[in-house]
Structure 1
């Protein structure tokens, strides 16, 4: 079958409709079949069609003048070789279940193609995940590295469960020392039972700044410095001098606590928190607090996900907005 270039697409006559019927290629139009550039190049590479004035290398050169085309083609070819039918669309590709195709089946994935150094805008990702969810599809990022290797990530906006009952506990008084708070053990044993702090010695519990701030917000902790009462705002200002990320970290810590989880520092794993759930001994999640409007490279996200998976944890990016916190999970998948 011979195709002709028609603007930013290829056009086949009526005989091309057999490609749509058998493999879900292209979109039927008046007089034949319209092929997206990725589809046309793939079919030419597989010797399924010919293109007037072009072989596969020259057509690749032609289309690669459009930024991002080559990596989209690599993903298209990979998914086709894995047995999927797919169509181009606003999310780069709409991928059908194996054995199904356009007109005879339903798409399962919406795929966004990114290069390893591309910035991931978390606000945009959240919106696209929501769109995919409304369409009852899984949202997938296909990351293409500099050597053309592909990695697929499923992305979810994780609505973490809320506790059945509010967390209970007593009242405590302590002293601010630098950025931390020290609380006498006597009368404050409930802190350790609830997963707050660690013993500095047999007499005192040391609370991290995020722990102290969460307890002050709940009016369960009062602090002094040099025997002078310290307000929450005064303590925050003093602690923030040691930690430029304290605002976001404190917001995420408090939110996880309200949801019934027990966050602890995730420093050893290179992230803000490791998160315990329901009293289990293993923390199933790592969480990184990030301000609204943050964008990270796919390299940075890949690094975080690989580390989390290597220690059998989920990787959550906690985006701090004025109206709440959204937890975005990236997880490697095999298609």
Structure 2
């Protein structure tokens, strides 16, 4: 009866089982000349299932085995998610630093599944370039929080136009207008004037500071959204699809560099708590693009437990 091999390490199979039994039961490895050939994650999985035992006593100490099989940074966290998927009965494959999983040998793969620690960072380009994707985030207690990241087109339905010829003047350090033709939601009413926000001011003054945020604001207006400050929710903007009498459907935040996952998670939780969708935006090749990030409570809930 053949054994198993992984990265040049030989293993005996325990419990008087055959290599083909392990392959069929656990949905892993491949048979070569009567032996079960495993990749590193498959090997660690069966080792902790006590289904294989190293022939060399040196590798019977788990730290010695793991040091040789999980060498790169982040592989420990990636393996934890791999094991979680396997226990739920998935067929799992690894491609570089991503996982893909499916329910049956001929089913569609779910993924990519990208694993991050709570203090890991990401940037907008990476998020957008890998959509759609699941992000499994491990906190310091080893718990997994799952997110789904998808690309969004972002178009509103607001019919009220902002006149191009609004005259604005600076009063008391703020820009104001006495134009009577602007929509009710534009600016803040003060007596017979409207006090404009910094973004509303920037929409009319091309030389204003913070041009990236001004450009985002302007593009959202041009996409027929009603756009107001998102400060009270910890975001740059809140956006209304059609009118301001309804609740804002979106919170929108600009990512201009690396961001920690715990901050992304916090933003998603806040948005969920106030019944809004959390949108992150950024520039790629000078194009303004958008992704939605939402928490997925249990993407694996339909799976059976591995025996």
| Normalised TM-score (structure 1) | 0.76
Unaligned segments of structure 2, at least 5 residues:
300-307
Q: In structure 2, what is the equivalent of residue 209 of structure 1?
A: 198
Q: CA deviation at 1:139?
A: 0.9
Cα contact 1:86–1:94 (8 A) shared by 2 = yes
Q: CA offsets, 1:131-174, max 9 Å, x none?
A: xxxxxxx41111112222211111112111365x9753444323
Alpha-carbon spacing, 1:3–1:51, altered in 2? closer, same or farther (3 Å): farther
> Partner residue of 2:239?
275
Match of 1:68 among 58, 74, 88: 74
Task: From 161, 168, 186, give the equivalent of 2:155.
Answer: 161
More helix by share: 1
Give the stretch that moved more between structures: 175-184 or 279-288: 175-184
- The Cα shift of 1:295 comes to 1.1
Q: Give the structure 1 partner of residue 249 of structure 2.
A: 284
2:203 is the alignment partner of 1:200: no
1:50-199 paired onto structure 2 within 5 Å: 50-53=53-56, 54-55=59-60, 57-58=62-63, 59-96=65-102, 98=103, 100-101=104-105, 104-129=106-131, 138-161=132-155, 168-170=161-163, 171-177=165-171, 180-184=174-178, 187-192=179-184, 195-199=185-189
Structure 1 pair 30/113, CA: closer, same or farther in 2 (3 Å)? Answer: farther
Partner of 1:2: 3
Following superposition, the deviation at residue 75 of structure 1 comes to: 0.8
SS at match of 2:168: strand
Match of 2:282 in 1: 319
The answer to which of 15-24 and 325-334 deviates more is 15-24
Give the conservation status (yes or no) of the 8 Å contact 1:16–1:32.
Answer: yes
Partner SS state of residue 150, structure 2: strand
Count of matched residue positions in the alignment of Structure 1 and Structure 2:
289
- 1:94 deviates by 0.8
**Residue 68 to residue 322, structure 1, CA distance change in 2 (3 Å):** closer
> In the alignment, is the contact (CA less than 8 A) between 1:12 and 1:32 conserved in 2?
no
